[in-house]
Amino acid sequence: MAGPPRVELEALRREHWGQGFPELLGQLTALGEVTEAMFAARLAEVDAAPGHHVVVAVDRARGRVVGAATLLEEGKFARGCGRCGHIEDVVVDAAARGQRIGQRLVDHLTAAAAASGCYKVILDCAEANVGFYEKCGFSRKEVQMAKYF
């Protein structure tokens, strides 16, 4: 009997483009037209930006990206010029859900924020995802607002 797939977390790299990263992100939001060159340019920006972390979950058996999440660290004036972590774009492939991949991604980024000296980590989510984030140790706080352009 085969065990669970070997899924490892790692920083987003250029090779992940061909391992399904764009298709995975498309399960979360409208991707728009993104070429491999555009991806590479944005990845270079991310890699050069301190406090910007994109982590992916790679299913080694399939050679596919099955999860991803982002941590952005914001320098604040409050809290003694502290830092706040923002978790964004958490997504797990529909076929890989239920394997705790999302929780591993969130836990990984939460630990990274703490290690960077962030005094809190916050995120926005859909009402349907509240239970998942509560299992990850988050609690409801205030109201999300958005204005799209």
Span 25-45, pLDDT tens digits? 999 999 999 999 999 999 999
> Following CA atoms 126, 98, 134, 147 in sequence, which dihedral angle do they give, to the nearest 10 degrees?
-20
User: Over the stretch 52-65, which tens digit does the pLDDT of each residue have?
Assistant: 999 999 999 999 99
In this prediction, residue 5 carries a pLDDT of 64
Non-local (6+) Cβ contacts of 76 within 8 A are 82, 83, 84
Percent of the residues in the chain that have a pLDDT greater than 70, as a whole number: 97
Cα–Cα distance, 71 to 128 (Å, whole number): 21
Structural domains of the chain ordered from first start: 7-135 (3.40.630.30)
In this prediction, residue 144 carries a pLDDT of 87
Non-local (6+) Cβ contacts of 46 within 8 A are 12, 52, 54
- Cβ pair 4, 57 in contact under 8 A: no
User: Over the stretch 78-116, which tens digit does the pLDDT of each residue have?
Assistant: 999 999 999 999 999 999 999 999 999 999 999 999 999
